[in-house]
Each structure stands twice: as C-alpha cells, then as structure tokens.
C-alpha cells in the first residue's frame, strides 16, 4: 500500500500485484508499433507545412499512414515536402495559403 499526503488530506492507493490479467494480451499490442498507431485512411491538414515544425509534423503523420494536405505561403518549400511525402507512398496535396488573409483562406476553401 502506498501512502501520500496532499494538503491536509491523506490518500491511500492500493495495488493488487497478484492479478491474473495479461496486459499485453488484453491490449493486443502488435510487434510493429506503426500498426498500433496507424493513421491509414486519414487525411491530415497542416498549416505551415513547407518547413520547420509543420514539415516535421507532416512527415511524421505520413510515416504513420496519413495522407497529407499542406498549406503554406512558400510554394518552393511545399514542393520539396510534397516530393518527400510522395516518396513515402502517401497522397499529398499542396495549396498556397496565407493564414492571415481571409481572401486566401476562402480561395483554398473553394478548391
């Protein structure tokens, strides 16, 4: 039994270490972790996807099976990231977008 104090209240937590439950069997964790966290069949939309953190997020999501929609002002950067994602066998669509402009947002929304 573990004891802890938070303020003036004493909390007791009990752990039953003699349990018959096989956690791995119950969760059916696959040997390949990408299967467990698969994003296959999903589409992820990333703003700022031409470089930096947006690029890293897009590549990570694509690695786990998501198709990608990249939005950014930097068309050259978008083309480079799209090429890398296409090389992973994922669908990738790019749109030039300035998120500070409602006109730009509405143009992309119409596409």
Pairwise CA distance, residues 90 & 1, whole Å: 50
For residue 110, what are the contacts with CB-CB under 8 A and spacing of at least 6? none
C-alpha 58 chain-centroid distance: 8
User: What is the C-alpha to C-alpha distance for residues 29 and 23, in angstroms, rounded to an integer?
Assistant: 9
pTM summary value: 0.69
In a 13 Å sphere around the CA of 110, the CA atoms on its Cβ side amount to 6
pLDDT in tens, the chain (111 residues): 444 444 555 555 454 555 555 544 555 656 677 777 889 999 999 999 999 999 999 999 999 999 999 999 999 999 999 999 999 999 999 999 999 999 988 888 888
Partners of residue 94 on adjacent β-strands: 70
């Amino acid at each position: 039994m573990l004891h802890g104090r938070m303020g003036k209240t004493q909390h007791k937590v009990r752990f039953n270490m003699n349990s018959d439950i096989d956690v791995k069997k119950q969760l059916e964790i696959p040997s390949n972790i990408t299967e467990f966290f698969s994003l296959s069949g999903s589409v992820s939309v990333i703003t700022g996807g031409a470089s930096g953190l947006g690029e890293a997020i897009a590549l990570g999501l694509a690695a786990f099976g998501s198709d990608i929609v990249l939005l950014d002002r930097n068309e050259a950067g978008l083309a480079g990231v799209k090429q890398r994602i296409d090389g992973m066998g994922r669908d990738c669509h790019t749109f030039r977008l300035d998120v500070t402009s409602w006109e730009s947002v509405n143009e992309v929304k119409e596409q």
